[in-house]
Amino acid sequence: MNLSDAHCRQPLTSSQIEIVHRFPELFHEARKQSQSELEEAFLTAFLRLAGEPMHQDVSRFMLSYSASSAITMVVSHCARAGKRVALIEPVFDNISSILRRENVELVPLTEQDCTVENLPVAMARLEPAVVWLVSPNNPTGWTLSEPEFRTLVQCCADRRCTLVLDSSFRFFSPPPIGWSQYELLEESGISYIVLEDTGKTWSTSEIKVGLTVCSPDMYADMYRLHDDLLQSVSPFHLRVLTEFIEDSSRNGTERSILPAVLRNRSILRSVLSESELEFVTELHSPVSVDWLLLREGLDCEDFVHEAIREGVHVLPGTNFFWNQPDRGRNFVRVALARDPQLMLEGAQLLRDTAIRLAAKDA
Q: What percent of the chain has pLDDT over 90?
A: 89
pLDDT value of position 283: 86
* Rounded Cα gap, residues 358 and 362, in angstroms: 6
Output the furthest CA–CA distance in the chain (Å, rounded).
67
pLDDT value of position 358: 83
Output the average pLDDT for the chain: 95
**Sorting pLDDT into bands at 50, 70 and 90, what band is 295?**
confident
Beta bridge partners of 194: 165, 213
Do residues 64 and 233 touch, judged by C-beta distance below 8 A? yes
Helix 23-32, helix 235-251: angle, nearest 10: 120
pLDDT in tens, 136-148: 999 999 999 999 9
pLDDT value of position 76: 95
**β-strands 130-134, 162-166: how paired?**
parallel
* Rounded Cα gap, residues 265 and 150, in angstroms: 31
* Rounded Cα gap, residues 350 and 30, in angstroms: 44
Phi, psi of 339 (to 5 degrees): -65, 135
**Sorting pLDDT into bands at 50, 70 and 90, what band is 232?**
confident
pLDDT value of position 231: 74
Query: Among 4-8, 179-183, 286-290, 353-357, which is the least confidently predicted range?
Result: 353-357
Angle at 193 between CA 191 and CA 197, to 5 degrees: 170
Average pLDDT over residues 150-156: 98
**What single letter denotes the amino acid at residue 151?**
T
Element (H, E) at 289: strand 289-294
Query: Among 8-12, 258-262, 273-277, 358-362, which is the least confidently predicted range?
Result: 358-362
DSSP string, 38-74: HHHHHHHHHHHHHT----S-GGGEEEES-HHHHHHHH
pLDDT value of position 177: 85
Q: Answer whether residue 261 shows pLDDT above 70.
A: yes
Q: Answer whether residue 362 shows pLDDT above 80.
A: no
Residue 231 or 77, more confident: 77
pLDDT value of position 176: 86
Strand order in the sheet with 315-316: 277-279, 289-294, 331-335, 315-316
For the chain, count helices (H), then strands (E): 14, 11
**Model pTM?**
0.96
